[in-house]
Amino acid sequence: MGIPTIQDMRLAEVEHLHNVVLVRCRNFMHAGPRRDPASIREALQKYVDAVFDFVTEVD
């Protein structure tokens, strides 16, 4: 296995943010009146920003 690169670390961050979005969506389904769509939008925006940053860095 090679030495992790900056891109590997960025991809790990993207993967983590992806998982955060999925967990919040699952919680949202079961939260009932305590639903907080703003928390999903916030996590999704961070995920999208990380993906765009990754693509920009690699390009």
Residues comprising the chain, all counted: 59
In angstroms, the CA 55 to CA 11 distance is: 10
**Phi-psi map region of 2: left, alpha, beta (phi>0 left; psi -120 to 50 alpha):** beta
Domain regions of the chain by residue span: 14-58
On the question of pLDDT at 59 being above 90, the answer is no
**Main-chain dihedrals φ then ψ at residue 58, nearest 5 degrees:** -75, -35
In angstroms, the CA 54 to CA 46 distance is: 12
Neighbouring CB atoms inside 10 A of 2's CB total 5
Q: What are the pLDDT digits (tens) for 2-58?
A: 898 999 999 999 999 999 999 999 999 999 888 999 999 999 999 999 999 999 987
